Structure 1
Amino acid sequence: MARDTQRPVVKLRSTAGTGYTYATRKNRRTSPDRLVLRKYDPRAGRHVDFREER
């Protein structure tokens, strides 16, 4: 089975400065820009923006 090159695994790092990360997949064709999701950061104890890092 071929590896899916359109959906690479990306790391999302917290903008709160805690160093907490999430791992997710994204479609390069439909969203070529860096991904930003608002998720819960357990170290900060609140929801913050998580930005894709390369």
Structure 2
Amino acid sequence: MSKGIAILVGWENIQGVAHCATRLKIVLNDTCILDIKKSSMWRIMNQLLLRDLKK
């Protein structure tokens, strides 16, 4: 799932990543990219999550 997230937001756009038991925080260099990809990104993220849960 982490590769999917990195591909969606762009590897070079990730400034930092932190996590705890329930959340993943990604700090981006350019958040405008998310506005462009937002609708398709959430659909893809849900598919990745469901796929990983089935394993």
- TM-score scaled to structure 1, two decimals? 0.24
Q: Which has the larger radius of gyration?
A: 1
> Where is the strand percentage greater, Structure 1 or Structure 2?
1
> Where is the helix percentage greater, Structure 1 or Structure 2?
2
